Structure 1
Amino acid sequence: MSNSYAGLDDAGVATVAARAGADVVRALYGRRLARIDKGAGDFATEADVEAEKAIIGVIRAARPDDAVLGEEGGRQGAAEAARQWLVDPLCGTLNYAVGNMLVAVNVALRGGAAAVADPFSGEVFFTDGETARVRHDGADTRLAPTPATQLVDVNLDPPFPSAPGFRAVDLLAHPGFVQRFRPRVVSTTLALAWVAAGKRAAYVTDGGDLSESAHFAAGIALCQAAGCVVTGIDGAPIGRVGRGLVAAADDETHQLLMSMIDSRSRHRA
């Protein structure tokens, strides 16, 4: 099995793995799938579990010495492994479970290559850590962020760790926001790939350190490699210092959003 992956670089492994997961997600779409309760209103389905197995199968075959941290299966592989893959096999499970196709399959090597697959468009967004591209119908195109759409995705899912100082919903009520941007609300990190690809002007979410999150690592890597401006909602670099995430197509968009976030935070404080 491993011979089929001979010669693949890390970006190639991430891309093949994400596509393998996406194939499972697409194949199981529309079926009645049992829910696996994870507590606090969160759940997984058979599609999450099977897609993760497919992804890990590729990684195991291509990089047998690497460790994996899966959203469903947890940590696997040698504890002392120098490299670790972060796997979110189905981001947007609630969307998927109710027949909505807005989902993503995320695969990222910590600090390196990453891929985000859209199971239904057939697009796979990927990066080697330096450049970012999208593969569709066998052709690769370099990602080019742009604020032209003026569409900003805002994650409104709880919990709200920065409340009352910052609530994402408050951003939507800012006069400057509605004058300059148009909000979109999604429940999948596919929106980060859209920022990198120029389909969205920005993405905003609350939270803690998202740099090592299986949900966000691949999308963050794509945005950074594509040349987006990526910080926490407090303006700090992504990592243990920063909180949440603001990924913008350019400096102007980022500065505008940060000024709005800051003003809403000071208003509520």
Structure 2
Amino acid sequence: MIDLSANPDDTAVATAAAQAGAEAVRARYGRRLARFDKGDGDFATDADVAAEEAIVDVIRAARPGDSVLGEEGGQRGEARAARQWLVDPLCGTLNYAAGTMLVAVNVALRDGPAAVADPFGGEVFFTDGDTARVRRDGHDTPLTPTAATGLVDVNLDPPFPSAPAFRTVDLLAHPGFGRRFRPRVVSTTLALAWVAAGKRAAYVTDGADLTGSVHSAAGIALCRAAGCVVTAADGTPVGPGSRGLVAAADAETHTTLLALIRERHGAAPDGRG
């Protein structure tokens, strides 16, 4: 729990909340997990629920007047509150339930500071909206994006709302993609934090209005603050009505990926020639 007497700013609240969620995730790893079916093959576990409660406890203690939209608990507080926190307590539940340590804990104040914790990597990525840093072993280091790895994470999880105009899976079959990049699939938005940190050249996914998503808001905020190029799959700004996401370490990588997407379908992903 954060020390309220220290009068923490929103960045500190986001970071502490993400750390609290990560602790709950670590504490339950390897245990027998209760599962809660969400339909269409999706499910949550008691670890997801416990992590969200830990996150909400921190936010409530520091910002009792704010609302919270959580992946598991839904809306808490006034939905139209001036300040809303977006919480994905365990991104990568299927990985976690299968004993794979590729997961993320996402906490973001809408249009404000955000944090992404890697429970097993021992890193917390955070931004105040202007700068982006990673905390490791008590030390904070600026995030420096780079495309040097040539690794691009491609999210292949359903649903695919932009199909058939835009499908991330099509990138894998494009010969130009294989010549320029090496694909990776981690099935968690930890990949967005890795783009900001220089561990990945880019991340590509489908989806609608991802800046307002509990899954992606924190990672997008990190990438933007770190200086990455972040747009929808057709190169337009990410926001209400947009489709897909391309977050790249630099402009060259971003331009190349957009060209591959357009070439694959013979038109821009929104259907315009």
Q: TM range, normalised to the smaller chain? A: over 0.9
Counterpart CA distance in 1 for 2:5 and 2:128 is 16
Deviations 1:142-167 (A, max 9, x none): 00000000000000011111111221
Q: Secondary structure at the match of 1:156?
A: coil
C-alpha distance in 2 between matches for 1:71 and 1:224? 23
User: Which residue matches 2:264?
Assistant: 264
- The count of aligned residue pairs is 269
Length-normalised TM-score, structure 2: 0.96
Rate the CA distance shift 1:97–1:75 in 2: closer, same or farther, 3 A. Answer: same
2:208 aligned counterpart, secondary structure: coil
Compare 162-171 and 85-94 and name the one that shifted more: 162-171
Deviation per residue, 1:218-265 (Å, 9 max, x gap)? 000000000000000011101014211000000000000000001112
Q: How does 1:228-243 map to 2 (within 5 A)?
A: 228-243=228-243
- Structure 1 pair 5–202 and aligned structure 2 pair: CA distance change class (3 A): farther
Are residues 174 and 57 of structure 1, via their aligned partners in 2, closer, same or farther at CA, if it must alter by over 3 Å? same
Query: What RMSD, in angstroms, separates the aligned Cα atoms of the two structures?
Result: 1.4
Q: Is the 8 A contact 1:145 1:195 kept in 2?
A: yes
Structure 2 residue matching 1:244: 3-state secondary structure: strand
Partner of 2:109: 109
Look up the SS of the partner of 2:242 in the other structure: coil
User: Which residue of structure 2 lines up, in the alignment, with residue 25 of structure 1?
Assistant: 25
Structure 2 Cα separation of the partners of residues 3 and 132 of structure 1: 23
Q: Distance in 1 between matches of 2:132 and 2:83?
A: 21
Shift of 1:61: 0.3
- Deviations 1:172-214, CA, capped at 9 Å, x for gaps: 1111111110000111000000000000000000111111000
Query: What is the CA-CA distance between 1:5 and the residue it aligns to?
Result: 5.7
Partner of 1:78: 78
Q: Tell me the amino acid that sits aligned with residue 40 of structure 1.
A: D
Q: Deviating runs (4+, > 3 A) in structure 1?
A: 1-6
Q: Residues of 2 paired with 1:166 and 1:64: CA distance?
A: 41
CA contact (8 A) 1:5 1:61 kept: no
1:167 lines up with 2:143 in the alignment: no
Contact 2:230 2:247 in 1 (8 A): yes
- Offset, 1:2: 7.3
Structure 2: how far apart are the matches of 1:177 and 1:139? 37
Q: Conserved in 1, the CA contact under 8 Å of 2:112 and 2:129?
A: yes
Q: Work out whether residues 2 and 16 of structure 2, in 8 Å CA contact, stay in contact via their aligned partners in 1.
A: no
TM-score by length of 1: 0.97
- In structure 1, the gaps of 5 or more residues are none
Aligned partners of 1:263 and 1:78: how far apart in 2?
45
